[in-house]
Amino acid sequence: MSIQQTKKMFDGECFFCGEKCYELLDGHRIIEGKDGGTYNWWNILTTCALCHRKCHSGIIKILGKHKCMGSRLEVLHYMEDGIEKWK
């Protein structure tokens, strides 16, 4: 089983819209391959096919992934339709 399949099973839904159909879920690299990003647990976001396309077309722009101080919790900083969000 690939890291993308494992991550999809673990997350169970699209990070952005909550789609739960496994067949529609993808693994999107936060740091893209062209920029040296690899498929590893911390660099993959589970997205549905539509939100994955939005990431690649620029509708959703990932600005960064940050660890909370003193915690294992991570927060994604992104923009969707020009609105800055944290999740």
pLDDT at 49: 98
Tell me the CA distances in angstroms from 49 to 27, 44, 57, one per residue in order: 9, 14, 12
Helices and strands counted in the chain (H then E): 2, 5
pLDDT at 70: 73
CA dist 73 and 55 (Å) reads 23
Q: Domains along the chain?
A: 3-86 (1.10.30)
Per-residue pLDDT tens over the stretch 2-53: 988 999 999 999 999 999 999 999 999 999 899 999 999 889 999 999 999 9
Per-residue pLDDT tens over the stretch 67-79: 777 777 788 999 9
CA dist 10 and 69 (Å) reads 24
Residue given tokens 């992934």 in the structure block: 65
